[in-house]
């Protein structure tokens, strides 16, 4: 799966989680830049992503993701 | 959640729900009745939040926990929606359950109908040393249960039904098999604590949410995720949240009389293998000799166990009635007998029409039925025509039938009373009464021939569980539909200025058990009838007249000037819309009625009386 395709899917998931169809994500987007993407919404998003992609992020990654690009790259690694 | 069918066109259907439409709640409830994923549950919960009030029964639920529980609330609300409830949920702050109960300012203002305690074993047993002797370990467990009991008292003081979650065993194996033997081993302590809390809960009227059993079945990994625990202190993993919400909502719904009452079974390829009309009695697959035959027999055995605990059984099958009846009479392996079924619809009519007829004949709502059929076409037809009927998604393999029906929890109970044990026989006796009605000439002759006696007396500790169950389960003959906890009923019964009466009806076919309850609170020099319920089994038997005669005498003896009553209409209590004028009450404003006792004369009925000692 390409980075672009994963990014598009992450955007859809975050739109569902935040109930905001206006959310736009780029590889450089960080959490504080997205309104209402608080720590609880972050966990919900992570669980949603894990469910959708059938993966499990290691604790260290979950705690250290800085940008959306970090998440996209980790998904590519986990999906092999 | 395998018993739920997969959602079809979820997004499209969710988007199509018009929240201004009066049918919006029902449309959302149908979506809740499908196997939703994590994100779909979230979306449905949001749509529910936007819905205006109405169409669903509101319930306020406080969830107090050792860990983080916010993620459990959307699945809880969706599971409530599945049962016609609109749950307003309050999540206690992380680990603050003691403070919230001891200083219930905020919680008291929330006024919960139910308080769910989801606590961690380490809060109660963490200090027990590994080398503690048995006596010390047992004392620690006893102290933990006493501690819980104090929390329950606090929660009950808020007027709430108390629901205690069993403790999850999250400790990794330490010794191995010896963990079950060493008194101070964490696994053994948790097992002991769960056993002791169940004993205490039974006596205290506390409901048990058995998360430990569910986690033992699904596997601890399914219920507890170390990553989510370390990241966010979620003791119950988000993946298990749907299952948790379902368990909690089942109890909350059961306490409000919303559990189902009747299991309706298809015959061919459900109660036995094969098609009896084609294969003949000798050709169907049932019983010893083949695994498949034993699987079908297993379903019969489970249905019989359900009947023993008070679930009504019925048949709904496309079959020749004579052939179907003969199978129950003549097949040597048949565990269920024709007499086990309170209704038997074997014919070639549409199954939805038959289910409606079954509900009518048993005098219960369609929402009390569970319909089990191996045929996906029939299931789809019934779901479409009668969304109130629960239709489990039966797996193709009959070996899994029982598990699927059992795990759906349709018949969740909060008490097991003598009336439950006797119910199946009572419905069968009702069929005999009905045939007597058909042969007897006039109604009066029929009632006279029944030889009825009402045994009445005060509400007390001996009948409190059944009285409370009747108040909370009755939807039709229910004048106010105010639900009560056991503690509330006990408080009204204990009020020397109030009155709490229960009525048992016995006739020549048997004892119907406690079938009616009246609760009255003092109101100046009059008494206010705040609850009056009657089981649908005894409608049309003049019991309402005789119960009022008894009440009027008791109230007069108490020196009351009048009995006042309100009628609060619901979707289901139309049968009592004209009850008070019919019984001679005078109108006293909108939905209000009064019966001045000075002018009241008892009406003769065909029911004899016996006052409880």
B526-534 and B477-478 beta bridge pairing: antiparallel
Q: How distant, in Å, are the alpha carbons of B4, B52, B454, B481, B570 from that of B56?
A: 21, 10, 36, 14, 11
Which residue from B42, B70, B228 is facing A16, i.e. has the nearest CB?
B42
B273 to chain A, minimum CA–CA distance in Å?
38
> So what's the pLDDT on residue B277?
85
Q: Is the ipTM of this complex over 0.85?
A: yes
Q: Do B39 and A19 touch (CB under 8 A)?
A: no
> So what's the pLDDT on residue B509?
75
The region that residue B437 occupies, defined by phi over 0 for left and psi between -120 and 50 for alpha, beta otherwise, is alpha
Residue B411 and residue B442: Cα distance in Å, rounded? Answer: 38
Classify B556 as helix, strand or coil.
Answer: helix
Which residue from B43, B230, B238 is facing A59, i.e. has the nearest CB?
B230
Cα torsion at B241, B245, B247, B252 (round to 10°)? 160
A13 touches chain B (CB under 8 A): yes
| Nearest to B334, CA basis, from B346, B321, B325, B345 | B325
Q: Do B227 and A63 touch (CB under 8 A)?
A: no
> So what's the pLDDT on residue B441?
57
Q: Which residues of B touch A55 (CB under 8 A)?
A: none
What residues have CB less than 8 Å from B64, skipping those under 6 apart?
B92, B96, B97, B100, B101, B115, B116, B117, B118, B155
- Whether B32 contacts A42, CB under 8 Å: no
Q: Do A43 and B230 touch (CB under 8 A)?
A: no
Q: Do A58 and B227 touch (CB under 8 A)?
A: yes
Concatenated DSSP letters for chain A? --HHHHHHHHHHHHHHHHT-TT----TT-BGGGSTT--HHHHHHHHHHHHHHHT----HHHHHH--BHHHHHHHHHHHT-
B119 to chain A, minimum CA–CA distance in Å?
21
A43 touches chain B (CB under 8 A): yes
Fill in the DSSP letter of residue B26. H
Which residue from B42, B227, B230 is facing A17, i.e. has the nearest CB?
B42
Q: Do B227 and A40 touch (CB under 8 A)?
A: no
Residue B103: how many CB atoms within 10 A of its CB? Answer: 12
Mean pLDDT by 10 residues, chain B (613 residues): 92 90 91 93 94 90 95 97 96 88 84 95 91 96 96 92 96 93 96 97 94 92 94 94 97 94 96 90 87 95 95 93 91 92 91 94 93 92 93 96 97 87 71 62 74 94 91 90 91 94 89 92 95 86 94 93 94 88 94 92 91 80
Q: What is the mean pLDDT of residues A4-23?
A: 94
Question: Degrees (nearest 5) of the Cα angle A63, A64, A66?
Answer: 125
A52 touches chain B (CB under 8 A): yes
A58 touches chain B (CB under 8 A): yes
> So what's the pLDDT on residue B446?
75
pLDDT reading at A77 higher than 90: yes
């Amino acid at each position: 799966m390409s980075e672009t395709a994963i990014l598009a899917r992450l955007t859809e998931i975050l739109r569902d989680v935040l109930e905001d169809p206006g959310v736009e994500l780029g590889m450089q987007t960080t959490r504080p830049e997205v309104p209402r993407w608080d720590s609880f919404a972050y966990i919900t998003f992570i669980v949603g992503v894990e469910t959708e992609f059938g993966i499990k992020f290691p604790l260290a990654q979950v705690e250290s993701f800085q940008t959306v690009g970090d998440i996209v790259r980790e998904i590519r690694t986990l999906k092999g | 959640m395998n018993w739920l069918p997969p959602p079809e066109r979820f997004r499209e259907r969710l988007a199509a729900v018009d929240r201004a439409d009066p049918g919006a709640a029902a449309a959302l409830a149908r979506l809740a009745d499908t196997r939703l994923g994590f994100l779909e549950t979230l979306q449905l919960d949001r749509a529910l939040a936007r819905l205006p009030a109405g169409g669903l029964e509101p319930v306020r639920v406080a969830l107090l926990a050792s860990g983080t529980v916010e993620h459990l609330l959307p699945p809880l609300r969706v599971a409530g929606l599945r049962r016609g409830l609109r749950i307003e949920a309050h999540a206690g702050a992380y680990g603050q359950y003691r403070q919230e109960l001891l200083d219930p300012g905020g919680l008291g203002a929330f006024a919960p109908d139910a308080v769910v305690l989801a606590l961690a074993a380490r809060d109660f047993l963490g200090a027990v040393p590994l080398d503690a002797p048995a006596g010390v370990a047992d004392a620690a467990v006893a102290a933990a249960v006493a501690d819980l009991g104090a929390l329950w008292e606090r929660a009950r003081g808020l007027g709430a039904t108390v629901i205690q979650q069993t403790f999850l065993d999250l400790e990794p194996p330490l010794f191995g098999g010896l963990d079950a033997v060493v008194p101070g081993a964490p696994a053994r302590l948790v097992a002991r604590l769960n056993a002791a809390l169940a004993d205490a809960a039974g006596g205290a009227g506390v409901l048990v949410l058995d998360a430990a059993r569910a986690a033992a079945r699904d596997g601890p990994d399914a219920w507890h995720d170390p990553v989510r625990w370390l990241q966010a202190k979620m003791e119950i993993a988000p993946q298990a949240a749907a299952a948790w919400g379902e368990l909690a909502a089942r109890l909350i719904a059961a306490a409000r009389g919303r559990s189902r009452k009747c299991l309706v079974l298809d015959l061919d390829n459900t109660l036995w293998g094969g098609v009896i009309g084609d294969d003949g009695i000798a050709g169907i697959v049932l019983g010893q000799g083949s695994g498949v035959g034993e699987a079908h027999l297993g379903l019969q055995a489970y249905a019989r166990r359900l009947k023993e605990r008070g679930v009504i059984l019925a048949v709904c099958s496309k079959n020749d009635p004579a052939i179907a009846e003969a199978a129950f009479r003549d097949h040597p392996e048949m565990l269920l007998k024709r007499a086990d079924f309170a209704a038997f619809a074997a014919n070639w009519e549409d199954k939805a029409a038959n289910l409606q007829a079954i509900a009518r004949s048993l005098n219960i709502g369609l929402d009390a039925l569970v319909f089990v059929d191996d045929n996906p076409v029939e299931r789809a037809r019934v779901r479409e025509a009668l969304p109130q009927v629960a239709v489990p998604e039966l797996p193709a393999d009959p070996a899994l039938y029982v598990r699927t029906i059992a795990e759906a929890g349709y018949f969740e109970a909060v008490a097991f009373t003598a009336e439950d044990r006797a119910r199946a026989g009572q419905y069968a006796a009702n069929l005999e009464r009905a045939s007597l009605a058909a042969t007897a000439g006039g109604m009066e002759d029929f009632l006279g021939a029944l030889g009825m006696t009402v045994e009445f007396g005060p509400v007390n500790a001996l009948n409190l569980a059944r009285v409370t169950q009747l108040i909370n389960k009755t939807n039709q003959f229910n004048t106010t539909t105010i639900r009560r906890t056991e503690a509330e009923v006990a408080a009204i019964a204990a009020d020397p200025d109030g009155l709490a009466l229960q009525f048992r009806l016995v006739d020549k076919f048997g004892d119907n058990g406690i079938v009616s309850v009246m609760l009255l609170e003092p109101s100046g020099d009059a008494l206010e009838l705040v609850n009056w319920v009657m089981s649908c089994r005894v409608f049309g038997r003049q019991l309402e007249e005789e119960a009022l005669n008894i009440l009027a005498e008791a109230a007069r003896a108490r020196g009351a000037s009048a009995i006042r009553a309100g009628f609060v209409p619901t979707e289901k209590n139309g049968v009592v819309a004209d009850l008070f004028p019919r019984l001679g009450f005078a109108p006293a404003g909108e939905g209000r009625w009064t019966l001045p006792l000075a002018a009241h004369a008892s009406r003769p009925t065909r029911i004899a009386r016996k006052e409880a000692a």
